[in-house]
Amino acid sequence: MTLLRSFPLLGLRMVGLVLLTVLVAACAGEGGTPRPSDGVQDPAAFQVDPGWLSPDWVFGPALGMDVDDRDHIWVTFRERGGHLAARDDHDVPQVACCLPAPLVMELDPDGHVVQAWRDRTEVPHWPEMAHGIHVDANRFVWVIDRDQHQILKLTDEGEHVLTIGRPGETGGSEDVARLGRPSNVWVHPETNELFVADGYGNRRVIVFDAATGAYLRHWGAYGAPPDDQGPRGEADAAGPLGQYAVVHGIIGSQDGRIYVADRGGQRIQVFETDGTFLAEAVVAPGMDLAFSPDPDQTWLYLADGNNHQIWVLRRATLEVMGSFGAPGDYDASVARPHSIAVDSRGRLHTAEQADQTDGRRLQRFIPGGTGGTGVTGVTAPVSTGPPAVIARGAGGAP
């Protein structure tokens, strides 16, 4: 088996602002030759849909995002929106527009609010900071309480069902009862196993029974036992080290693969569901992962909050096809995307936490530059050539 490792962040350049129906585009294929079309348009060509959401919301930093089986988008925020917003605890609004977004929003495919959990009195178990959210095939809502080392299982109406981990306690990467600042989760729809990216403190993927919370198994980088004493895997031109840096994103494919985004290691690793290591690509400081909705899940999307990019990879080979995005708060820029979600029509949604208040928002991008309700676009920073590829055997850590 071949281990592919690529470094597309080398040689990025900025491309100017373009108005009207401009596709956010990607780099060309190997050697500058046209990329195979696969019968579809450029996989990294997206167009922003500025009419998706009401302009009356003011958002806090958006952290978690997922899409359920009805194409409803679920979003969590670090805090309620407040900048330029009318305070809903005043009888008379202080300003003529805008309401602070709640801590949790469920949005239908047209961007209308289905339900909102406004504060912690409405959902008593809600954490101080919900770092991520996942809605499983049974419509249970999983919320990551990163700083208290817990994962909460709720009904889709906010009723508490189960807690995994112990509040305020952590015990290292070999402790099977306690977590270490977990970042995200994914539930296998067939086996009902909960896969946890664990995380900022620990250096592992850990798996639980999603019904009972019972521990099942865990592994570190390359499927080996995690080592909390070894250096974390900050990637450079020589390649990452063995241990995970920050296990930040996790998702499973329909063909039984688990994809892990190591944010600090700037890499994606692929496993069997039992932890057997399959492949790795060094791409970017990835925060979240999503797939295209076609039966083969041809494209893998990676949210890169450090560089304000969404990377597009061919899932089968982990080849980088391109990217879109740019820093800023204008249409088609992406301001520190922390989570992404792709619905059944291939529309990619971003949850952006942004350093600047004005850039904290949600966006929808239409694949192939078609559809939407009107366009103002911007070409993205793109690679000047194909990514360098280093092939190594997959017999263990490099």
The percent of residues in the chain predicted with pLDDT above 90, rounded, is: 59
Q: Is the pLDDT of residue 81 over 70?
A: no
Confidence of residue 374 (pLDDT cuts 50, 70, 90): very low
pLDDT of residue 263: 95
Q: What is the tens place of the pLDDT at every residue in 308-341?
A: 999 999 999 999 999 999 888 777 789 899 999 9
Burial class (CB in 10 A: 0-12, 13-18, 19+), 236: exposed
pLDDT of residue 369: 56
What token pair was written down for 222? 């390359």
Q: Is the pLDDT of residue 38 over 60?
A: no
Name the more confident of 275 and 373.
275
How far lies 194's CA from each of 30, 101, 229, in Å? Answer: 38, 29, 26
DSSP class of residue 224? S
Q: Residue 132 carries which side chain, given as an amino acid letter?
A: G
The alpha carbon of residue 328 and the mean position of all alpha carbons in its chain are separated, in whole angstroms, by: 19
Domain ranges of the chain: 2-14+52-363
19-23, 134-138, 208-212, 244-248: segment of lowest average pLDDT: 19-23
CA neighbor of 132 nearest in space, from 60, 75, 55, 192: 75
Quick check: 348 and 300 in contact, CB under 8 A? no
- Please state the φ and ψ torsions of residue 324, each to the nearest 5 degrees: -145, 160
Q: What gap in Å lies between CA 98 and CA 108, rounded to an integer? A: 20
pLDDT, average across residues 334-362: 87
pLDDT, average across residues 44-65: 88
- Strand 57-58 to strand 99-100: parallel, antiparallel, or no bridges (unpaired)? parallel
Query: Domain 2-14+52-363 class?
Result: mainly beta
CA neighbor of 156 nearest in space, from 72, 249, 59, 271: 72
Quick check: 146 and 196 in contact, CB under 8 A? no
pLDDT of residue 237: 53
Q: Is the pLDDT of residue 390 over 50?
A: no
pLDDT of residue 378: 40
pLDDT of residue 123: 75
The model's pTM is 0.83
pLDDT, average across residues 11-22: 29
279-293, 336-350, 359-373: segment of lowest average pLDDT: 359-373
Q: Residue 147 carries which side chain, given as an amino acid letter?
A: D
Q: Is the pLDDT of residue 343 over 70?
A: yes
Name the more confident of 142 and 327.
142
Average pLDDT across the chain, whole number: 80
pLDDT, average across residues 141-146: 96
Q: What is the tens place of the pLDDT at every residue in 112-132?
A: 999 998 777 777 778 888 999
- Please state the φ and ψ torsions of residue 364, each to the nearest 5 degrees: -120, 135
